[in-house]
Amino acid sequence: MRAAPLALAVLTLGALATLAPRTARAQRRTPADRYDDTFSKYSKRYFGPAFDWRIFKAQGMAESNLDPKARSQVGARGVMQLMPATFREIASKNPELKRIDHPEMNIAAGIAYDRQLWTRWEGDSVLTDVRTFTFASYNAGRRTLLNAQTTARTSGLDPRRWPSIESVAPKVERWRHVETLDYVKRIDAFHAQLDERGRVIVDSVSARGVRK
């Protein structure tokens, strides 16, 4: 009569052994997730604990496909594709950021730069989309976006609304507007591909190809 429980136990252990590798595979992080803790850490530092850190991961995906060795033709470097001059500016206020080619420091500096831009746009209390203006100016420079707002205003459009900026973008001199408009859309698209833990749900779209 004791053989049946023993056999059941053996079968149960066998089933658990079979399931264990599958569970481990399901929980194992992919290369796309390796910097999640870093994005979360510096999102909390510069934007507070309630802010959705995944949007910065999406930005990193749009910038470099999360490649710490990425380098653009104009010299932007790392996961967040920072120009050396921008990194030095951010590092002057954050002395712990010493190396642009260090993945964590690069991500930290990128999010700190986002915070700097965000604060400037946030000063306009009726700006309708601070996040979009922040990312657009990260890509094109804040002066370019200010010029776009001036063009929108002279065109009779509300310069505080992003659709107005999209509308007048081709009229703004010395702005590679197609790149910037695509950039902010790609960030939103990549953000939509991340689950609540920041893991990639859809892996069918490459983040490469964003020009700097």
The confidence band for 186, taking pLDDT boundaries of 50, 70 and 90, is: very high
The per-residue pLDDT for 123 is 83
The per-residue pLDDT for 31 is 80
Q: How many domains does the chain have?
A: 1
**Mean pLDDT score, 32-47:** 97
Amino acid occupying residue 157: L
The per-residue pLDDT for 13 is 43
Residues 6+ apart with CB under 8 A from 56: 39, 42, 43, 107, 110, 111, 114
Tokens standing for 209? 């190809």
Whether 19 is in a domain gets the answer: no
| Integer angstrom CA distances of residue 152 from 28, 103, 123, 160, 168 | 48, 38, 19, 9, 6
State how far the Cα of 32 lies from the Cα of 35, in Å rounded to an integer. 8
Whether 205 is in a domain gets the answer: no
Q: Convert the pLDDT of each residue in 83-133 to its tens digit.
A: 999 999 999 999 999 999 999 999 999 999 999 999 999 988 678 899 999
**Average per-residue pLDDT in the chain?**
87
Q: How many helices (H) and strands (E) does the chain have?
A: 9, 0
State how far the Cα of 147 lies from the Cα of 27, in Å rounded to an integer. 47
Q: In CATH, what number is assigned to the domain containing residue 159?
A: 1.10.530.10
Three-class SS state of 77: strand
Helices (H), 48-174: 54-64, 84-93, 103-122, 130-140, 142-154, 162-168
Sign of CA dihedral 64, 66, 71, 74: positive
The confidence band for 26, taking pLDDT boundaries of 50, 70 and 90, is: very low
Whether 23 is in a domain gets the answer: no
Per-residue pLDDT at 22 exceeds 90: no
The per-residue pLDDT for 202 is 61
Parent domain of 177: 32-192
Whether 27 is in a domain gets the answer: no
| Integer angstrom CA distances of residue 92 from 18, 87, 198 | 54, 9, 30
pTM: 0.82
The per-residue pLDDT for 69 is 97
The per-residue pLDDT for 7 is 46
Distance, CA of 125 to chain centre: 24
Three-class SS state of 64: helix
Three-class SS state of 82: strand
State how far the Cα of 208 lies from the Cα of 57, in Å rounded to an integer. 14
